[in-house]
């Protein structure tokens, strides 16, 4: 099987509109959660979210193009352009037919759906936009990125709720490892901070109703009471090692393991004891051909919901055994909120940068220890420490579990 490396990164997030800003924000412990500005929250119980800041679509797209792209697709294109530029890919110097795209989204074009539902209700069916379908459907982030970049290889969307972009990265890894593609744009995107999105997650009792932005998204803290919605996109460029070396690409890290499982248990609650998540971690470790003790850092799904964080703690203990006592585990959702279908890709970037810089990010906002979440959660202050292997976990509604493992690159 072929070796697969990471040669480019791209991101637009609540704490930075490119990878450098984002990573600097992570290292500095910046919280990107604030009062919602996308719409009037007067009648809403939830007031906070992790919105992308200082975003003007016309800085990236001409006016006509912007009107034809839902924000979730805009974010994906922006992150992908950055990643391709970072990887120094010249489309004329590679085989575009072996250059693919997998970009997931948990929801798709939320605002487009809401806007056109309102038009249908108020003005009738003839006034619904002819662009409604091609703006709303979840595959259009991947499709438009492929068009924008000129990638003619395999192109599709993963839709596994909050595990979507980790599945995207994992499946892209497999396509390259088994020889089907040379380069993949892989990641996720989400722009679900809309009235309907917030109301829906609120009424399913998933969101924190805290009005203190520093105590709303508090993974592993005993006082956690729900997640905070975030938005944005994360994209990685995965590339077959020899292909990368031939074009003198810089290499951030190697991707060495991936696995996915299903709880087959409940639409929103994790399986008891975290057995599904544990199995994904166990299989990813086996796929990487390493031992649990080799994992230095886990970027946890860590949503700040009571069930997720205790269940994921149990899953890590089950998967790693004795090694769970010493592994560093943090959640960066205190910084960004929960980016839903984009979360795993943004957190994969955290893992790659953590390996590159030898820095484990903190779980910020942590105050009250929880005996059910008794791992080393790296509270409030990051650590400068050598990292050889980092694992990222994502767990989605529907019982979707996925884990991906990155390694420090050695020739």
Tell me: domain 257-406, CATH 3.40.47.10, correct? yes
- Considering the candidates 31, 167, 243, 338, report the single residue annotated as catalytic: 338
Whole-angstrom CA distances from 218 to 71, 163, 234, 333, 369 are 27, 20, 22, 8, 11
Average pLDDT of the segment spanning 147-156: 98
d(CA 361, CA 46): 27
Q: Can you give the length of the chain in residues?
A: 411
Q: Are strands 297-299 and 389-396 parallel, antiparallel or unpaired?
A: parallel
Q: What is the pLDDT of residues 232-268, one digit of tens each?
A: 999 999 999 999 999 999 999 999 999 999 999 999 9
Other Cβ atoms closer than 10 A to 159 = 21
Residue 338 bears catalytic tag: yes
Shortest CA distance to 34 belongs to which of 46, 53, 50?
Answer: 50
**CATH architecture of residue range(s) 4-246:** 3-Layer(aba) Sandwich (3.40)
Residue 301 bears catalytic tag: yes
Residue 162 bears catalytic tag: yes
pTM of the model: 0.97
Query: Residue 305 pLDDT more than 90?
Result: yes
| Average pLDDT over the chain, rounded to an integer | 97
DSSP 236: E
- Considering the candidates 31, 162, 351, 373, report the single residue annotated as catalytic: 162
Query: Residue 411 pLDDT more than 90?
Result: no
DSSP 114: H
Whole-angstrom CA distances from 65 to 77, 111, 195, 330 are 12, 16, 24, 39
Are 4-246 and 257-406 in the same CATH fold? yes
- Considering the candidates 167, 301, 351, 400, report the single residue annotated as catalytic: 301
Q: Domain residues of the chain, as ranges?
A: 4-246, 257-406
Average pLDDT of the segment spanning 6-26: 98
């Amino acid at each position: 099987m072929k070796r697969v490396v990471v040669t480019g990164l791209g991101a637009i997030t609540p704490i930075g509109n490119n990878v450098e800003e984002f990573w600097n924000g992570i290292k500095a412990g910046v919280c990107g959660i604030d009062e919602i500005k996308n719409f009037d929250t007067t009648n809403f119980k939830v007031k906070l979210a992790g919105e992308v800041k200082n975003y003007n679509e016309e800085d990236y797209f001409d006016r006509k193009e912007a009107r034809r792209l839902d924000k979730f697709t805009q974010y994906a294109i922006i992150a992908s352009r950055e990643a391709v530029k970072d990887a120094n890919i010249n489309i004329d110097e590679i085989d575009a037919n072996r250059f693919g795209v997998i970009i997931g989204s948990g929801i798709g074009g939320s605002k487009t759906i809401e806007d056109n539902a309102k038009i249908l209700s108020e003005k009738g069916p003839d006034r619904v936009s002819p662009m409604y379908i091609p703006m709303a459907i979840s595959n259009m982030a991947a499709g438009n990125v492929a068009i924008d970049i000129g990638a003619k290889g395999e192109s599709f969307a993963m839709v596994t709720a909050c595990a979507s972009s980790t599945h995207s990265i994992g499946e892209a890894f497999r396509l390259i490892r088994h020889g089907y593609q040379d380069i993949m744009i892989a990641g996720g995107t989400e722009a679900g901070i809309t009235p309907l999105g917030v109301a829906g997650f609120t009424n399913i009792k998933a969101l924190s109703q805290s009005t203190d932005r520093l105590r709303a998204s508090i993974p592993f803290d005993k006082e956690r009471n729900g997640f905070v919605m975030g938005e944005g996109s994360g994209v990685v460029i995965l590339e077959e090692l020899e292909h990368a070396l031939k074009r003198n690409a810089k290499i951030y890290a190697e991707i060495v393991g991936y696995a996915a499982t299903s709880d087959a248990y409940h639409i929103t609650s994790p399986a008891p004891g975290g057995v599904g998540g544990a199995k994904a971690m166990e299989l990813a470790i086996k796929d990487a051909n390493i031992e649990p003790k080799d994992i230095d850092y886990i970027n946890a799904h860590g949503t700040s919901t009571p069930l997720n964080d205790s269940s994921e703690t149990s899953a890590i203990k089950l998967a790693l055994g004795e090694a769970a006592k010493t592994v560093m585990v943090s959640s960066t959702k205190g910084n960004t909120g929960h980016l839903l279908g984009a979360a795993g890709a943004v957190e994969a970037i955290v893992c790659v940068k953590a390996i590159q810089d030898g820095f484990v990010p903190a779980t910020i906002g942590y105050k009250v220890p929880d005996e059910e979440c008794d791992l080393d959660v790296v509270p409030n202050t990051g650590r400068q420490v050598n990292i050889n292997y980092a694992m990222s976990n994502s767990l989605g509604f529907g019982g979707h579990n996925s884990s991906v493992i990155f390694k420090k690159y050695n020739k």
